[in-house]
Amino acid sequence: MRRLLLLLAPLVGAALIDTRSSHLENCSGYKAMNIREQGQSLTADLVLAGDHCDVYGTDLENLKLLVEYQTDDRLHVLISDRDEEVYQVPTSVVPRPDATSHHGSNPNIRFDFEAEPFSFRVLRGDEVLFDTSETSLVFETQYLRLRTWLPKNPYLYGLGEHSDPLRLPIKNYTRTLWSRDAYGIPENTNLYGNHPIYVDHRGAEGTHGVFFLNSNGMDIKVDQTDDGRQFLEYNTIGGVVDLYFLAGPSPKEVAKQYSEIVGLPAMQAYWTFGFHNCRYGHRDVYDVAEAVSNYSHAHIPLETMWTDIDYMDRRRVFTLDPERFPLEKMRELVDYLHKHDQHYIVMVDPAVSDNNGAANRGKGQNVFLKRGGEWYQGAVWPGVTVFPDWFAPTTQDWWDGEFARFFNPDTGVDIDGLWIDMNEASNFCPWPCQDPAAYSVENDLPPAAPDVRPSSPRPLPGFPADFQPGKSSGKVRRTAGNKAGLPNRELVSPPYQIANAAGSLSNKTIDTDLIHQGEDAYAEYDTHNLYGTMMSSASRHAMSERRPSVRPLIITRSTFAGAGAHVGHWLGDNLSEWGKYRTSIRQMLAFAAIFQIPMVGSDICGFGGNTTEELCARWATLGAFNPFYRNHNSIDSIPQEFYRWPTVADAARRAIAIRYRLLDYLYTAFHRQTQTGEPFLQPMFYVYPDDSKSFANEAQFFYGDSLLVSPVQDVGETSVDAYLPKDLFYDWYTGAKVQGKGANKTLTNVGVTEIPIHIRGGSIIPLRAESAMTTKELRRRGFEILVAPNKKGYASGSLYLDDGESLEVENSSEIQFEYNKGRLSIRGLFGYHPNVAIEAITILGQDRPRKQARGVDYDAARQSVTKKVNVSLSGPAEIDV
């Protein structure tokens, strides 16, 4: 038996403000008995060590402990009730990693414990990573508490979804996890999704991660005791203690280890990385078509056009407004886009109007949530609505059927991707929702967006003659043991109240005392945080049924751990403010690097409120370095398509040209994350984990391992104080060498259409030789290989190629480039032939021209050498430059 020394109990932390918190500190906890070690696992019984505390429920007297060394770098600790009646996250929603065939034989982390009172530590060598000593485990019918001690002044990240600093506050901080519709994305509140993983970065000592697999509402508190000791404390209103410890020791290794638990991200099609545009408030299909035309006229590449709920008949899902978005015109619009190698996406919400065909078919298949045998009703955009029960055994078939019917390529709207929203689930009716119709917005919709067409409508270039603005009124219709949970719990107002910004657990969402269909009869109280992810996986299935052979793009608002295996995420309804512009960077980094949802981005230029020309121009350049790049705004805001201001249009053209030339670099790194979990978009400390000056930097980020992006931060600014680690960099625009000194460097004269980018020395970046108006056209462009040598004259990089869309890839290429003092080597696997070649090789950092040779040019201003070549990407090659 392993033993730990117990220290004196600390004083109560300032964050524990509940009047019952002092009673919690006197709880006796548990003692471990019947301890058994077998192979790479340990089990024990945990028995209540003294009198009941019963602070926020009734203490469970008998628990059981399971410890598994699942791999050398992953330790699993599960504390559950003896009879396994307490709710656990269903494996159907979050599959568990295989713990039977990959046991760690030489673990890098280990479990240590004290039997009475029971506490445990997790160690990496002599370093303590997690320590529950001195505070008792509290395990009650509706409350769990577990506290771990932290190092002084810790660098913690994760615990999303939130808009708080990337490095989490360490004093008097509470991160509440409970999905809610959070318009404006406020700071220091719970938002749309839930990712209970944190990364603890300790510089040269290493990095580790802790994942708490629990979908119940919770407050995670980070604070200090009165004597200055740092702690992190879980306070949940249900579930079990299900912890995964990830040994690291680097931030990237933690990310890869986390992906082994929740699943690798879904690979996206090549076209999805193009530029997208949307607006809530398009008055009719002609308005949508005119936006498409205007982008073309402004020569701004538009890959995908999106339509918000405007297209629906009275906001009813799986319908079209017959006056403003008639089917025949919608089909013409989609045909036009497809003819021009562009794409089309619409929004679908979970709530279904209680008075249409989809609802009637769903009722016939028994797919909606019920209360006492009657259909549970709420109020969302179309008025009184019913909500799909994703646990009901027939819901998937119904959902598939509605997609097949409405999005039928031959008879319906042939969408190329899907946007799902309001899936926290959002409900306009406050709790208790006694009269949903009273909270309907069906008769109180905002007015149509102002008519922004020219006074004399011009023809839409390329559209059929009968697809032109005519005498349409353009009006908006104004119409209004099974691990399933203990019995006898208070499912709406539990004794412990989490800090849900919406108030009651059931306020503005689905009532939490509803019981789901299915054999396990889960309570919404336990599964609320899973609703969005279950809709996501169901929607991916429905989209795959439509087009089985291609990768489906699905963008969702609400997520839980593991959602990235199915979908991407946009960061929700932000505002057109400089603060939200800055916030989008840290949110994007958290999702891409920590939560394993790399297809992520913000509403460019902001959703709510009126943007400005300067803000939109800056955001257009920043957005070009979001994995998901979409301009989107609200019906009550001024239109903000990129072509509406000269500087924004110029910024967009410049930024998209850079993005598109880099698209295969992005695609390659993104693909690597889908195979290994190694993050593509990264905070600076992921690349420089030993540089303490990078640990709290959330204003800059790495786009892959090779490009450091340093956006302008505020209104009126034309300079950036960019931190450059002690490394060699090259200016993207000038090619100039920049030696980082581990200090800030002021970058001046950054025009409103520009964004500072630096290439890290030692990098090889595959570029398309030039940009294009669509990604299909881009794939016909040849390549330029850009070499940025390090101080020793060495560089390396890679290129992944496939057909860009197949779900099951038959032929692909994984090519490695290596440059060393004048010679470029090309090796790897060459299964996919792109029918284009390498047309040029450019070497940066050349102080003087090499010996002149035919086809080699020296650029003195850029200090670079470029050699014109014609090198096939069908096999290995060696080239002297």
Q: Which residues are catalytic?
A: 421, 424, 573
CA angle 333, 335, 337 (to 5 degrees): 70
| Token pair 């791999």: residue | 71
Name the residue among 281, 359, 285 with its Cα closest to residue 327: 285
Helical H segments across 365-475, by residue range: 395-406
Alpha carbon distance 445, 354 (integer Å)? 18
Q: In 708-741, which positions are buried (b, 16+ CB within 10 angstroms) versus exposed (e)?
A: bbbbbbeeeeeebebbbbebbbbbbeebebbebe
Is the separation of the CB atoms in 160 and 168 below 8 Å?
no
CA distances from 709 to 540, 581, 595, 681, 699 (A): 32, 15, 21, 11, 9
| Token pair 């319908």: residue | 319
Alpha carbon distance 616, 630 (integer Å)? 12
Length of the chain: 881
Element (H, E) at 144: strand 143-150
| Token pair 């047309």: residue | 839
CA distances from 304 to 273, 274, 337, 573, 666 (A): 10, 7, 8, 20, 18
Neighbours of 770 (CB within 10 A): 13
What is the layout of strands, in order, in the sheet containing 757-760? 681-682, 701-703, 707-709, 757-760, 728-731, 737-739
Amino acid of residue 650 = D
Is the separation of the CB atoms in 294 and 382 below 8 Å?
no
Is the separation of the CB atoms in 680 and 670 below 8 Å?
yes
DSSP states along 777-828: HHTTS-EEEEEE--TTSEEEEEEEE--SSBSS-SS-EEEEEEEETTEEEEEE
β-pairing, 629-631 vs 275-277, is parallel
CA distances from 586 to 74, 399, 413, 439, 702 (A): 27, 35, 36, 35, 12
Is the separation of the CB atoms in 598 and 564 below 8 Å?
yes
Alpha carbon distance 484, 89 (integer Å)? 9
Is the separation of the CB atoms in 563 and 597 below 8 Å?
yes
Is the separation of the CB atoms in 196 and 146 below 8 Å?
no
Residue 694 backbone phi and psi in degrees, to 5: -95, -10
| Token pair 């060590």: residue | 49
Alpha carbon distance 373, 379 (integer Å)? 19
CA distances from 645 to 579, 614, 628 (A): 22, 9, 23
Alpha carbon distance 236, 440 (integer Å)? 33
Q: 689 preceded by cis ω (within 30°)?
A: no
Neighbours of 481 (CB within 10 A): 7
DSSP state of 345: E
Alpha carbon distance 537, 347 (integer Å)? 16
Neighbours of 519 (CB within 10 A): 9
